Amino acid sequence: MKVEVSLFGAFRDYEPAAAVTLEVPAGARVADLRSALAAHGRAHWPGFREGLLMRSAFASQTCVLGEQEHLPESGPVVVLPPVGGG
């Protein structure tokens, strides 16, 4: 299935369109999408920091998704890198 991934924060430096579409198996979980995005990053984004992706959260349009949750069947999935503040 095709999943539109919206990118925020530091990930926008890698992809000016702020989104990518990735192919994952039907019934895929967040962990599968994280792996697919890591592979895409290694192949297409010079200077890609995989550690940042591993610490990032994934969310649907309504909630933050756990690593073993199934991906939503419609709508984008958002990647939210960690942020700092004070």
Domain that holds residue 68: 2-80
Q: Choose among 68, 53, 49: nearest CA to 5.
A: 53
* 27 found inside a domain: yes
pTM (whole model) above 0.85: yes
Report how far residue 22's alpha carbon sits from residue 35's, in angstroms, rounded to the nearest whole number: 11
Report how far residue 6's alpha carbon sits from residue 15's, in angstroms, rounded to the nearest whole number: 10
pLDDT tens string 5-55: 999 999 999 998 999 999 999 999 999 999 999 999 999 999 999 999 999
CATH number at residue 44: 3.10.20.30
What average pLDDT does the segment 53-63 reach? 96
* 86 found inside a domain: no
